[in-house]
Structures are given as structure tokens and as C-alpha cells.
Structure 1
Amino acid sequence: GPRDLPRFIRLAQEEGLDVVVRPGPYICAEWDNGGLPAWLTGTPGMRLRTSHGPYLEAVDRWFDALVPRVAELQAGRGGPVVAVQIENEYGSYGDDRAYVRHIRDALVARGITELLYTADGPTPLMQDGGALSGELAAATFGSRPDRAAALLRSRRPGEPFFCAEFWNGWFDHWGDKHHVRPAPSAAEDLGGILDEGGSVSLYMAHGGTNFGLWAGANHEGGTIRPTVTSYDSDAPIAENGALTPKFFALRDRLTALDPAAARRPLPADPPLLAPRDLPVVGQAALLDALRATAEPVTAPLPLSFEELSLASGLVLYEAEPLLPPGEHEVTVTGLHDRAQVFVDDTPVAVLDRESASFTVTGTGTRVRLALLVENQGRINYGPLLGQGKGILGGVRVERRLVHGWTMRPLPLDAWTGRDTARAVAAAPSDGRAGFATAVLPVAEPADAFVALPGFGKGFLWVNDTLLGRYWEIGPQSTLYLPGPLLRRGDNTLTVLELERLGDRVTLREGPDLGPSEEYVETFD
């Protein structure tokens, strides 16, 4: 399947590639939680990325399962793995030397004999935190290669200069513009690395897609910044494998060192399905569908996603507070990340971390208060790594806490057509938010780029595979649909729309990642 790491490494070998493996356990990569599982980060008292005993025990169990599979594919055993990274940019996080040494020793103890190295930003502070004596110290950066080379040589005379991540592009957050880096700029700094005698790994050469709910998030200035579904990253090879102008610019710079490589044939761009509109049919109303398909859990106070054993997706929180006549302010404490609020099934507000209160009118009777809370992606970088999701505090009407909650967790990555059928049977569509479907007839499977004009925010499945999140605020307007997910004949596209349904799903001629702005990451 898609998580078969040894098979993936062997495929790379069949294509003539060497492989550098970065087994973490923390990987960043704009991946949900930086690659750490939610059950681990949600364990009370867990001290992440430190020499804390319970954390190291979890790391060792993971390495017991993972590292031997990598070790047997090392170059010394006839495989393609030529190097293994120790942790990831640890110097941007901490300086627990015992922890970094433990990761190194754990890799060696499980059979790693190829080159080991650390990778950190090109500043003294970052290198001090992450580099290990006796192991190659690499740098990660997107510009000023001469400065990075000078820093490493001053600290590690005689060591090779290795840029473990050359940021020739950048990722995007929802609500921002699509970040692009001009091809000449990327080629110039790539050339600078080569001129310094350096080795380099392009980040990203092929960005790909954060399928499902695997996109992470950053936290800047008190605001969570969820990463979009696409991880195109303005890479030289596009999401669908097409070659971009940046590919040819970087190729020209690299083949200047090996002119014979310039004569190697290049593949044609992958075919795409023809553009078309697919009518959408509403299937199930939002709240009633969720009530019918998710198992309820009750508690006096709201439970977090972690307490509900839910890594990602949605939780529907419901209570029935008695409200005296008049206007009342309702405040949600510790909301992570976004909540749609309904009073007696009528939408009244959308809340987030920075704006988590609303006003409701009481009549002296009980009201049905529902909050549909979305985990928009777990933070993957920085000191807030491992932060919980859901309602982490409580809900207050004025000063009074609301008690008596029913919660319905929805692990959307496990949703299938059977779940949709259950929802339809229990909650016919009201034409607004909820589940809807479209049919895509296919004669011969090929890639596609799917847009949802007129929709607000939600999730898209193809057959039973969750492609990812969409959101009208952009920048991303299309979701990449790989051809292997399709079959000959009719294919079902299922939408869970949280705000308002559109009337069609559209196949586009190519990707639309939104209005762009130039961005080059620098270290001052």
C-alpha cells in the first residue's frame, strides 16, 4: 500500500536513485504534528523531543519497527540507502544533547552503518543545538549559500559541505497567497552551493500533496496557520509529475557539471482527464448526518480530541443549557481550532482561537447548543508542537460553565461510502451544508485537478479515499486527483460541505494554486 516504505525505497533503486532516509521521529515537513502521533503527544506529562524516559521508550518502540527495515536496504547490503539523518532541525527546537545522542545511538544499535548526519539551520545557535561531535553537520537553507558554507567550515574544518534542504520554493497556508520563487533565483543559489563544492538535496524536488488530513500547521503571532492540502511548494516537478520551467533552470545548472546528463530523455507530462462539470446531488443534512453516524460520548465537560481518541477530523459538541430571557455572551475557552456554532440547529457564529465568543438570546427555556469543531492541522514546528485539539477548557454562559455534554467524534479519514449511505438514510439533504455526491464516468483513468466552485469549506473523497481539505479563502482552488484512485466506469466523488453546497464539481485543465507572491526564505 501507500505506506510500504521498503517497497518505495526499492522503487527508487530501480530508477537508479540513491536514498537518504530521515526517520525522525520528528520530521516537520509541514506534516500533521511533525510526524509524531496524536496519541503520543496527547499523553499527559509527555515531554516531546527530550531525553524524558517515557518519550524515549516510545521512540525506541518505533525504531524497533522501522529502522531494521531501513538497515537491510543500506548500500553496504546492496540497497540504495547511502545516509540516514539524526532527528530533524533539532537546533531550532532545543539543546538536549542526551536526546540527540540517544537518537544517534538508537539508529546504530539497530543496524545503521551508512553515513549519519544532523541537519540544522545555518546559524551558530541552531548548529549548537542540533549538531553532534563525530557526525557530519549539514545545513538547511534557501539562500546565501556562501554564508552557510563559511559557518560550517569555521566550525567543522575538513568536513564536506552538505545542504540537506535547499528551499527552492515554499509551502502555503490557507488565507495567504501561493508562494513562488523565480526559477533564476533558485538556480543562482543552487549554483552557489555547487560553487562551494557542496552536495545538495532539493526541498522540494517534487512537493506532491498532503492527502487526507495530513497537512500540518504553523503558529505565528498567536495565530494558527493551517497548511493547504497541496504541497506543490513551487517545486521543479509539479504535483502531478509535470516538468516546470524551474525544472529546466535547475537542470541546466546541474548538468553544467555533467554535460552527458543533459542528453538523457525526459518523460512526457502525464495525461489529464478532459475538463468537465459534474452535477452535484445533495445527500444528507449536516448536523443530522453527523448525529446519525458518529457514536456519542457523554461527559460533564467537553472532552478534547485526544481524550476522545481522535487524531483528526471533527467533533460535534452538544449541550442544552437553560438560558434566562435576554442576551447572553457565550465564551469557548481553549478552542482548537475552529467551531461552527448552532443554536436549535440554526447557524449563529463561526469561532476560532482568536475570536471564541458569541451572543445568544435566551427565552427562559433550554436551547440546543451545538459546536462543530474542526482540527485544521496539528502544529508541526516550534514550541507549540503537540498542542491538543478540540475544546480544551470549557464553555461559559456569562460566568456559568455549561455542563452535560454529548460529543460525537468523526474520524473523516476512515469515512467510506457505507457511512454516507447511513447518513442519507437518517438525514435527507436540506440543500445547504452536508454531504453531497457527484459521479465521474471514466473511460481510461488519468490524473485530474478538481475544483469546487460555489462551495465554502469542507472535504472531498474520491471513491473511498479522502483527497483532503478545500476552502474558498484559498489560495488553493483545485485538488490533485491521481489517476490510480480512479477506475473504469463510474467513480463517486463525495463532498462534506460545512457551510454551503455548490451545484457542481469541475475538472480543470490544470492546477490552480491561487494568486501568487514571491518568497525566498532567508536567515539574517
Structure 2
Amino acid sequence: PVRTLAPEFMVPASNYLRRVYDIVAPFQISRGGPVILVQIENEYGAYGNDHAYLRSLTDLTRQCGIDVPLTTVDQPAGTMLEDGSLPDLLATGSFGSRAKERLAKLRDVQRTGPLMCSEFWDGWFDSWGQYHHTTLSSACELADLLEAGASVNLYMFHGGTNFGLTNGANDKGQYRAITTSYDYDAPLDETGHPTAKYWEFREVLSRFTDLPDEVPSERPVAPVHAGTFTGALALSAIADQLGEFRPSGGALTMDSVGQYRGFARYRRIFDDDEFRPSAGPHILRIGEIRDRAIVEVDGRRIGVLERMDHDQVLTFDGSPSRIEILVEDMGRVNYGPRIGEHKGIVGSVSIDGTDVPDWEIAPLDIENLMPVGEALRQAVVVENNEVTVTAPTFLRAHVTIDGPTDLFLDTQGWGHGLAWINGHLLGRYSRRGPQRTLYVPAPYLRAGENELLVFETDPAEGLSWATLAGPDLGPVDW
């Protein structure tokens, strides 16, 4: 029960906030420091309207010695501003367009006090299966905000990267996982270099204040490299070392076995003396997949279930002795009422309408690469220039460079999976796009040989690797 007064949430949240405020309090402007505002919640009006919960957070903040003005931020739409704030807090807005209209809505709710857009969306994030988002009117909207005398905080000023498995997701009727790149079409791109929007914003700001002469450097052209994979290892050959099966105990979520991100394997072995589907076509139904499942029957892949496509059903033939399901958490929902939901298999699994109990679950520790590296060193070396993958497989290659520099790993032609460089998990790639490169920052690299590891989960052929001269974040929907 997150973002509520439930003790299971409030006790650890309060302990966390006390530690944070111990650090923040000495740096308030009232004590000669740089902190001028403290925000109580973030877009809470899109999640709930429990003002007693907000009051508890506010009281805790004051008790911890925070005496600067306190704020909240919500979208100026519907009742979100009213639901997400309190009369003695300064409400601020989050929006990226129609600035004059949004400020008017904020003033309707908060008749006096400062006007502020504390989350000015000057771009937008991308989700798998959609276009790369860009915005054309951000500079005009920024000018409108400043001309109205409003304060503004840019979100984002510097684009970034959801390295590892840190990306989030949205679900407003359809689940959409956010891509690895959080470039956001921001004034500074994912690598920290200026975009056209940076220069547009600089021109707008120059109308209202003096600007320093110093400006960031343009992004240099990245080195281009290419090569082949030299080692391949099927997940099935190493999976038992990455996580052991245990009885599910009836609950099929990943959270129930302490797996909070990444992958989990599910297995059901059918004995001859129990229920076992007879020969013939069957329907396998899963209540809900969160978020992507690869299903095998007796070692044969029968299909993929995608949450974003509302998939639930696959068909198969024969009388199975074993069903295995590899489930991937594609990212936690981080906006709206679905925050805090569990991952994995939710509900029951049935065959031809009959529930199938007694599943086993094995968390897959893909962040522990030591067993994978050891096994790859013993694996058969790939002798030709093309690699074909028919089942989830780890692939290894070596990237030789003159010295550390930003690279952009080309994922075109790959299927769906993860990539590491020198043990650093760069993030997820997917043939759904739009993102077509993974950002490899210079500090992850070294002069000479660097190890590239790829976990490809989908069938693919002719796989090789390459780096490009710059990022490719996919087609743009104007």
C-alpha cells in the first residue's frame, strides 16, 4: 500500500525522509545554503487524494527542521492540483504545452502566491513500439512562462540513460515500457552535448537575463567499429547456476520469491500418475503476464506473450511432460494508481480451461555474470561470421579501441535482450524500436580489448556487432 498512511509504507518512508532531511536541513537558504524549496510529494493528485497522508508528510518535514517553503507539483487538469496538495503548501504545475492556460488553471486553484511550473516538459520519453518523441514548440512555451513572470524548472535539461534495468513504464489502459534511452529531446542530449533546442532556449533566456559566454562543446563523431561474436552459450546450459527452482507456494509473482526486476523461470513437470493433457491441440492461458513471457513445451518454443499486446493465450500440440516459461519484468509502472504492482505471472495458468497448480519458480540472477563468463570460456568458439540464435542465448565478442571514448552500439538486426560492456549493463534493446543504438559512455571502456556480452532472447540469424558514428533513436512522428 504505497503512498498511504499504512504502517508498512509510512514507517520505512519516514525513516528514509529523516535521513534525507538530516543532510538537507543544514543547506537551507535560511542557514546560508542553496536549498530554497522542499517538495512534499510528486504528482500525487494523479495517484490519490488522501490529504491526511499529505499532512503526515508535511508535519514530518517540519519536525525535521525544514523551514523553507514547502511545495507540491501536479498537472493543472481535472482535480489533480486540489487532490495533490494542501492549503498551506505552495502548489506548482507540471506541463509542457499551453502554458498560459495551465498557469490560469493554477491561479484558479491557488489565488495568491508564486506561479511556478516546477516540471516543464521540454520533451518527452520514448516507449518501446512507438516513435521517437520530439517537440517543436518548447522554446515558445518557455517564453510564455517567463513573460508571465512565472518561475520554471526544466524537465529535462540533460537527457540521460536508463542503464541496467532501471527504466520505468506507464499503463493507462495499455502497458508501455520506457526505452533504455531517456534522451527526452532535451537541450543537452543523452551524452551531455547541446542540441538545437539548447540554442533556442539560450536565445529565449537572453531576453530576460545576461548569460555567460561559456557554452558546451558539440558532440564529436564517435569511432565506428564492427566485428563478429566469438562465443555463444544457451541460457539452458547455465540457468541452474543463476537461480534454483523452488515451489511457488501458490503465488506466481516474481515478488513472492524476492525477485524485483529482471527475469524469472517458471516450470511445471507433469508426472504420468497425475493430470496430464492428452495428445491433441491445447490452449494454454495465463491470467496476466507482467510483462513478457517466452513459453516452451518440452523444450520447444511455442510463442511469446506480451503484456503490451494484452496477450494471454497460446496453442500447442501433444501431451507435454514439461512446460517452462521465461518471464521478463520490462519495467515498473511509475505513474498513476498502478504503482507498486507485482511482476511475473498474475492469476492462474490453465490448459483447456483446467487450472494447473504446483508451479516452481527460479529467480534468474542475470546481474551475476561470473558463471556466464566462466561458462563462455569453456563454450564452443564461433568459427564463422554469422551467429544464429534459436533459444535465449548469451553471446560474447571483443571490441578493440585505441582509448576510452563514447560509443553507440548498433542493435539493428538484433531481436530482444540485454547488452553489457566490461560487465556494465547498458540496458535493454528491442526490435520494436524506436531506439536503435545503446549509449556506451567512455568511462565504461578501456584502451585495447573490451568484452561485449549480449543476452539475446529471440530467434535471430546473421548476428554481428557494430558501433555507429552517433545515436539512432529511431523514426520521429511529427
On whether the aligned pair clears a TM of 0.5, the verdict is: yes
Q: Quote the residue 2:368 is aligned against.
A: 415
Instruction: State yes or no: 1:218 paired with 2:170.
Output: yes
Alpha-carbon distance, 1:313 to partner: 0.4
Q: 2:349 aligns with which of 395, 398, 423?
A: 395
Rounded Cα–Cα distance in structure 1 between residues aligned with 2:294 and 2:412: 21
Q: Quote the residue 2:273 is aligned against.
A: none
Alpha-carbon distance, 1:381 to partner: 1.1
1:174-219 Cα distance to aligned partner (Å, 9 max, x none): 000011101xx11111000001101101111112111111111111
Rounded Cα–Cα distance in structure 1 between residues aligned with 2:141 and 2:248: 56
Q: Quote the residue 2:179 is aligned against.
A: 228
**Aligned residue type for 2:162:** N
Question: Cα–Cα, structure 1 residues 362 and 178, in superposed 2: closer, same or farther, change >3 Å?
Answer: same
Q: Residue 301 of structure 1 contacts residue 402 of structure 1 at CA under 8 Å; is this kept in 2?
A: no
Q: 1:362 aligns with which of 300, 318, 322?
A: 318
Alpha-carbon distance, 1:118 to partner: 0.9
Instruction: State yes or no: 1:278 paired with 2:227.
Output: yes
Deviates more, 1:48-57 or 1:169-178: 48-57
Alpha-carbon distance, 1:427 to partner: 7.2
Q: Residue 231 of structure 2 contacts residue 379 of structure 2 at CA under 8 Å; is this kept in 1?
A: no
**Aligned residue type for 2:312:** A
Q: 1:197 aligns with which of 149, 158, 161?
A: 149
**Aligned residue type for 1:224:** Y
Q: Quote the residue 1:437 is aligned against.
A: 396
Using the aligned pairs only, state the percent identity.
Answer: 37
Q: Quote the residue 1:168 is aligned against.
A: 122
Q: 1:237 aligns with which of 177, 181, 188?
A: 188
Rounded Cα–Cα distance in structure 2 between residues aligned with 1:481 and 1:87: 34
Alpha-carbon distance, 1:293 to partner: 2.5
1:136-183 Cα distance to aligned partner (Å, 9 max, x none): 11111111221222223333333111101111111111000011101x
1:395-436 Cα distance to aligned partner (Å, 9 max, x none): 211132223433221243x333x1312443787689413101
Q: 2:6 aligns with which of 45, 48, 52?
A: 52
Instruction: State yes or no: 1:127 paired with 2:81.
Output: yes
3-state SS of the aligned residue for 2:160?
coil
Deviates more, 1:208-217 or 1:54-63: 54-63
Instruction: State yes or no: 1:267 paired with 2:226.
Output: no
Q: Residue 194 of structure 2 contacts residue 219 of structure 2 at CA under 8 Å; is this kept in 1?
A: no
Deviates more, 1:354-363 or 1:370-379: 354-363
Rounded Cα–Cα distance in structure 2 between residues aligned with 1:419 and 1:74: 48
Rounded Cα–Cα distance in structure 2 between residues aligned with 1:76 and 1:440: 53
**Aligned residue type for 2:438:** L
**Aligned residue type for 1:479:** L
Q: Quote the residue 1:470 is aligned against.
A: 429
Q: Residue 263 of structure 2 contacts residue 328 of structure 2 at CA under 8 Å; is this kept in 1?
A: yes
Alpha-carbon distance, 1:270 to partner: 4.6
Q: Quote the residue 2:254 is aligned against.
A: 305
3-state SS of the aligned residue for 2:181?
coil
Q: Residue 436 of structure 2 contacts residue 473 of structure 2 at CA under 8 Å; is this kept in 1?
A: yes
3-state SS of the aligned residue for 2:238?
helix
Rounded Cα–Cα distance in structure 1 between residues aligned with 2:362 and 2:375: 14
Q: Residue 342 of structure 1 contacts residue 369 of structure 1 at CA under 8 Å; is this kept in 2?
A: yes
**Aligned residue type for 1:499:** D
Aligned length in residues: 463
Q: Residue 292 of structure 1 contacts residue 426 of structure 1 at CA under 8 Å; is this kept in 2?
A: no
Using the size of structure 2 for normalisation, the TM-score is 0.92
Q: Quote the residue 2:69 is aligned against.
A: 115
3-state SS of the aligned residue for 1:396?
strand
1:63-91 Cα distance to aligned partner (Å, 9 max, x none): 13322122233334444322211110111
Q: 2:98 aligns with which of 126, 144, 147?
A: 144
Q: Quote the residue 1:257 is aligned against.
A: 208
Question: Cα–Cα, structure 1 residues 210 and 305, in superposed 2: closer, same or farther, change >3 Å?
Answer: same
1:318-374 Cα distance to aligned partner (Å, 9 max, x none): 1123331211111112221111111121211111232221122124xx422111101
Question: Cα–Cα, structure 1 residues 134 and 475, in superposed 2: closer, same or farther, change >3 Å?
Answer: same
Alpha-carbon distance, 1:124 to partner: 5.4
Q: Residue 415 of structure 1 contacts residue 464 of structure 1 at CA under 8 Å; is this kept in 2?
A: no
Question: Cα–Cα, structure 1 residues 346 and 119, in superposed 2: closer, same or farther, change >3 Å?
Answer: same
Paired residues for 1:346-385 under 5 Å? 346-353=300-307, 354-363=310-319, 366-385=320-339
Instruction: State yes or no: 1:512 paired with 2:463.
Output: no
Rounded Cα–Cα distance in structure 2 between residues aligned with 1:108 and 1:493: 50
Q: 1:72 aligns with which of 17, 26, 33?
A: 26
| Runs of at least 5 residues in structure 2 that lack an aligned partner in the other structure | 271-275, 382-386
Deviates more, 1:235-244 or 1:271-280: 271-280
Rounded Cα–Cα distance in structure 1 between residues aligned with 2:405 and 2:67: 41
| Runs of at least 5 residues in structure 1 that lack an aligned partner in the other structure | 1-46, 519-524
**Aligned residue type for 1:514:** G
Q: Residue 440 of structure 1 contacts residue 492 of structure 1 at CA under 8 Å; is this kept in 2?
A: yes
1:280-323 Cα distance to aligned partner (Å, 9 max, x none): 22321123322342222223546311111011000111112333
Instruction: State yes or no: 1:458 paired with 2:407.
Output: no
Q: Quote the residue 1:317 is aligned against.
A: 266
Rounded Cα–Cα distance in structure 1 between residues aligned with 2:294 and 2:240: 15
Rounded Cα–Cα distance in structure 2 between residues aligned with 1:483 and 1:145: 38
Alpha-carbon distance, 1:279 to partner: 1.7
Using the size of structure 1 for normalisation, the TM-score is 0.84
Question: Cα–Cα, structure 1 residues 293 and 133, in superposed 2: closer, same or farther, change >3 Å?
Answer: same
**Aligned residue type for 2:239:** L
Instruction: State yes or no: 1:247 paired with 2:198.
Output: yes
Q: Quote the residue 2:384 is aligned against.
A: none
Q: Quote the residue 1:18 is aligned against.
A: none
Rounded Cα–Cα distance in structure 1 between residues aligned with 2:305 and 2:79: 38
Rounded Cα–Cα distance in structure 2 between residues aligned with 1:76 and 1:490: 52
Question: Cα–Cα, structure 1 residues 123 and 400, in superposed 2: closer, same or farther, change >3 Å?
Answer: closer
3-state SS of the aligned residue for 1:239?
coil
